Amino acid sequence: MSAPKTMRAMVFDGKSPVLTLHDLPLPTPNVDQLLIRIRCCAVCRTDLHVVDRDLKEPVLPLIPGHEIIGEVVAAGDSVTGFTIGQRVGVPWLGSTCGHCHYCRVHRENLCDDARFTGYHINGGFAEFCVADHRYCFPIPDEFSDEQAAPLMCAGLIGYRSYRMIGDAENIGFYGFGAAAHILIQVARHERRKVYAFTRPDDGAAQEFAKNLGAVWAGASDQTPPQTLDAVIIFAPMGQLVPGALSAVRKGGVVVCAGIHMSDIPSFPYEWLWGERQIRSVANLTREDGEQFLKLAPTIPIRTQVQIYDLDQTNLALDDLRLGKLQGAAVISVK
């Protein structure tokens, strides 16, 4: 099927967090890019940080969305490894310089000249997009489009966060949303124990966590029944860091998994003492994606999704903002 000349897209103008539906010219791939007919795109908290202007440097006007699943319909002359009709995933990391210190030492996620999908590059809340083929992933056949979409960020960057906790056995997840509901499946597969922390009044999220195998679920201001080896904070709330530190054993680590977090309040040094660590996660590498997408079908990961049409993207963003979702929101563009 040939591509049309125009496409529908939800556009962020930088003036309001409300996206507007537009008819736009179809993008043209350059020599290294794929033209992708989008089937669906999951909604990430980073999309909220973009439209709420927590992240200050989007290229405007912008089509947000960076958990894209689609079909290759055209390719630039330098593209290798992909064929017309192939299903691909497009993640947050859209390109890097390839020659700086970070790129040379396999830490391309820290490249100062990196460009990101749905932030610097038009993303997936549209019928088509272009993407550099070197930063796209083939999608395992075991996953439907909607099941695969949350793996592109909640899964990939969640997995990078998870790898930072080493061999921790008792793990705390603060915030039980899209990433946590994927990573608990990895943890259970590896016979680790997860303790889920949610908003104080969110009994539904606590029950969701227990149904997925959490050994305990409670409010973020509660003390877990077991001293933890590590904590991953998925919620963008700096005030959670001191409590998380006080919950981990000596030598434990608190991983801040979000791209944006509110300020961390002061806390007693004794909560950090004992060689406890606080560390952040920045973006992802292509190696993260290759490893996780190889692992995910063997578990197998099963994502819980709520489907929205393209013209319902603002509703999906609002539902995420208000904590109404269990699992992940996915925009269907079929």
pLDDT of the chain along its 334 residues, tens only?
Answer: 567 899 999 999 999 999 999 999 999 999 999 999 999 999 999 999 999 999 999 999 999 999 999 999 999 999 999 999 999 999 999 999 999 999 999 999 999 999 999 999 999 999 999 999 999 999 999 999 999 999 999 999 999 999 999 999 999 999 999 999 999 999 999 999 999 999 998 999 999 999 999 999 999 999 999 999 999 999 999 999 999 999 999 999 999 999 999 999 999 999 999 999 999 999 999 999 999 999 999 999 999 999 999 999 999 999 999 999 999 999 999 8
Q: What's the rounded Cα separation, in Å, for the pair 22 and 43? A: 19
286 residue type, one letter: R
Within 32-145, strands assigned E span 33-43, 67-75, 87-90, 93-95, 115-116, 128-132, 137-138
Nearest Cα neighbor of 277 from 248, 301, 299 is 248
The pTM of this model reads: 0.96
Bridge partners (DSSP) of residue 22 are 9
What string of DSSP letters covers 130-172?
EEEGGG-EEPPTTS-HHHHGGGGTTTHHHHHHHHTTTT-SEEE
Q: Does 165-280 match 6-154+284-332 at the fold level?
A: no
Per domain, the residue ranges of the chain are 6-154+284-332, 165-280
The class of domain 6-154+284-332 in CATH terms is: alpha beta
At which residue do the structure tokens 């877990």 appear? 224
165-280 to CATH, choices 3.40.190.10, 3.40.50.2000, 3.90.1150.10, 3.40.50.720? 3.40.50.720
Question: Which residues neighbour 170 within 8 Å (Cβ) at sequence distance 6 or greater?
Answer: 192, 193, 195, 226, 227, 228, 229, 230
Q: What's the rounded Cα separation, in Å, for the pair 113 and 97? A: 6
Q: Which two tokens stand for residue 73?
A: 């319909």
